[in-house]
Amino acid sequence: MQSFYTDGSGLATVMAIINRTPDSFYDQGATAQFDAALQRAADVIAQGAGIVDIGGVKAGPGQYVGAEEEIDRVVPLIQAVHERFPKLHISVDTWRSEVAAAAIAAGADLVNDTWAGHDPELVEVAGQFRVGYVCSHTGGVQPRTRPYRVHFDDVVADVISETTALAEKAVACGVPEQKILIDPTHDFGKNTFHGLELLRRIDEVVATGLPVLMALSNKDFVGETLDRGVGDRVAGTLACTSFAAARGVAAFRAHEVAETLDTIRMTAAIQGKMAALATTRGLA
């Protein structure tokens, strides 16, 4: 199925991460302030991002952020980005239905529910406004908690079962089918062995026919695999990106937008799915 959030070129879309949080695990609050976040949006759009994903709460454990504060962080930025770039797809990264409703009113057209329907009304909000919805997999972990001795008989089968069931629910609630993405959701409720197996067998997830979003960027499973700290995981992330792009993943949520897009394009060129962009060597 062709995703509403791809550009029709056949190449995967890059979803750029913008965190209005002072304690983000990767950028350590670089875009917590409004002006910095707005500049980040302009920069990643210039680099080729097809979606910007705006969040106001750190995914992992940390300072409590209530719904009103989360709205105050994300809604003004969504409104400003939408006004400047009205054709851009804007995603709100939230698990709260009231935040999603306010974000949609401000211009968001995709709800990135990274906590797998923890708030059952969230998918209903997406359906009510007929915007997109990301169906994720957490294995039942509570928002903002880390996995502890998690076990799956078959993690890939569990991911497929949970995300496709959520996709069916989303359609029943009114979300247009072409606006649904499914996300295996690396590190959420999973360990590194699970993360690697999901990549190894990602073709099985793609085979569901639903467009797949992968959020691989600088994740702990990359760090543990390579024994690299948070700031040294880009190469590992891009290796994962190339592997998944070659197998039909539709979108990648990323910190490094230009590098991710280069990886997607190079992979497509190797496969013969894209022409080289500037060929002069040995031709003159």
Q: pLDDT per residue over 215-237, tens digit each?
A: 999 999 999 999 999 999 999 99
168 — pLDDT class (breaks 50, 70, 90): very high
Q: pLDDT per residue over 38-82, tens digit each?
A: 999 999 999 999 999 999 999 989 889 999 999 999 999 999 999
For 39, other C-beta atoms within 10 Å of its C-beta total 12
Please tell me which residue in 40, 190, 233, 253 is annotated as part of the active site: 253
Six-digit token string for 160: 């497929």
DSSP 149-178: S---S-HHHHHHHHHHHHHHHHHHHT--GG
To the query of whether residue 247 is one of the catalytic residues in this protein, the response is: no
Q: How confident is the model at residue 104, as a pLDDT?
A: 98
pLDDT at 25 over 90: no
Q: pLDDT per residue over 109-131, tens digit each?
A: 999 999 999 999 999 999 999 99
148 — pLDDT class (breaks 50, 70, 90): confident
136 — pLDDT class (breaks 50, 70, 90): very high
pLDDT at 8 over 90: no
Please tell me which residue in 40, 201, 219, 265 is annotated as part of the active site: 219
For the entire predicted model, the pTM comes to: 0.96
Q: How confident is the model at residue 186, as a pLDDT?
A: 97
Q: How confident is the model at residue 191, as a pLDDT?
A: 96
Task: Enumerate domains of the chain plus CATH numbers.
Answer: 13-270 (3.20.20.20)
What's the half-sphere exposure (Cβ side, CA atoms, 13 Å) at 199? 26
To the query of whether residue 253 is one of the catalytic residues in this protein, the response is: yes
Q: Looking at residue 119, what DSSP letter applies?
A: S
Contact indicator for 140, 115 with CB cutoff of 8 Å: no
